[in-house]
Structure 1
Amino acid sequence: MTTALQPPPPSRPLLRLRLAPHAGMPRPIDGAWWPRSHDLLAELPWLLAGLPRAWGHITSVTVNGTTWSAVPGRTLVFNQVVRLRRTVAASAPHTIILLAPGRGRWDLLVVPPDTTEEAAEPLMAAAASGRA
């Protein structure tokens, strides 16, 4: 009997996420996320999987409605329901807000997917340092 070896499934590129150091003081931006597409349903599981465990289970996500493709009212991520909200706030067109009951709220700068690495790197570094 022979066994054919199957190639491993293609792996997903690394999550492009930079978080600000944990501090006791609230900050306006807690880091930056650079998704690979405007498809929130495809990108969100990768983001949530890459967050620190200390943040707990994210149950609610708020995004700018003009930035992302269609967003339903909720989705299932890792067998957990995540409520999705859209806003059209002109004051924060490139942010995502993550809520975990009893743990807190985190606001991340969203670097648009089509941004070049040259332009994205300083944005992500500034957000992670608290200068965004």
Structure 2
Amino acid sequence: MTATTDRATSRVLSPTLPARLSLTPRTTLAGQLDGAWWPRSRDLEAELPALADALDEPWGRITRVTVNPTRWPVIPHTVPVAGHTLHVGWFAEQDPDKLFLLSGIVGRWDLLVIPPETAPAAAARLMTAAAIPGSVLTARALMAAEAVIGGGMRDARSRVEDWESEGGACMSPFGNLVGRRSLPLPGNTWR
């Protein structure tokens, strides 16, 4: 016996999870971003309804969305959202880590898009940073900073792993990690 499933049917039958979203508080300070969105997948058709639903009350009905196609494998022209249709467009010139939302009431809003595969701690840092009122940091700058911070964490973990595997860190006279065989011990000279 075989069973077939229809993507549209499976979406209707599965409960919609709320959007993971962090918005800048209402203030007179204008910043580069209006918040951040952390989708659960790279499927815009599945992700946009929850986002539009979450923004309906604070921003009004979202009518248009634009993305950069490098981060989204499929970009639908329209997405059905509760009671209306959301029009989706793309621009290769747009920052790949940004999503533009248009509302007839409020205007344009810019959200940092956090990749779905991002670790929760990194996503939390990015969501907090993107929602700071009046911040001059762009989406690209936030993602680059997180890459350095996240890379720094991985680098620190690898140094701890080196310490544990060697029985203690060995340092050269220049402050670089070296193996135990490099130390000038009896019978072992610097080469």
**1:51 is paired with a residue of what secondary structure?**
helix
**Is 2:63–2:104's contact at 8 Å kept on the other side of the alignment?**
yes
1:36 aligned to 33, 40, 46, which one? 40
Asked which structure has the greater RCO (Cα within 8 Å, sep 6+), the reply is 1
Matches within 5 A, 1:117-132: 117-130=120-133, 131=135, 132=137
Q: Are positions 1:80 and 2:84 aligned together? A: yes
Say if 2:44 and 2:76, in contact at 8 Å, map to a contact too: no
Moved more, 35-44 or 95-104: 95-104
Residue of 109, 113, 118 corresponding to 1:110:
113
Distance (whole Å) between structure 1 residues aligned to residue 16 and residue 77 of structure 2: 26
Q: Which has the larger radius of gyration?
A: 2
Between the aligned residues of both structures, percent identity stands at: 42
The question of 1:71 aligning with 2:75 is answered yes
Aligned-pair CA distance for 1:86 = 0.7
Separation (CA, whole Å) in 1 of partners of 2:127 and 2:74: 25
Q: 1:74 deviation in Å?
A: 2.0
Counterpart mapping for 1:92-103 below 5 A = 92-103=95-106
Offset from partner CA, 1:10-30 (integer Å, 9 cap, x none): 644442100010123432100
The one-letter amino acid paired with 1:40 is L
CA RMSD in angstroms, aligned pairs only: 1.9
Separation in 1, partners of 2:105, 2:55: 16
Q: Which residue of 2 aligns with 1:3?
A: none
Q: Gapped runs of 5+ residues in structure 1?
A: 1-8
Q: Report the structure, 1 or 2, having the larger strand content.
A: 1
Residue aligned with 2:74, SS: coil
| Shift, 1:70, TM fit | 1.1
Q: How much has 1:48 moved relative to structure 2?
A: 0.8
Shift of 1:56: 1.2
Normalized against structure 2, the TM-score is what?
Answer: 0.59
Under a length normalisation based on structure 1, what TM-score does the superposition of the two structures give?
Answer: 0.83
Structure 2 portions without partners, runs of 5+: 1-12, 138-191
More helix by share: 2
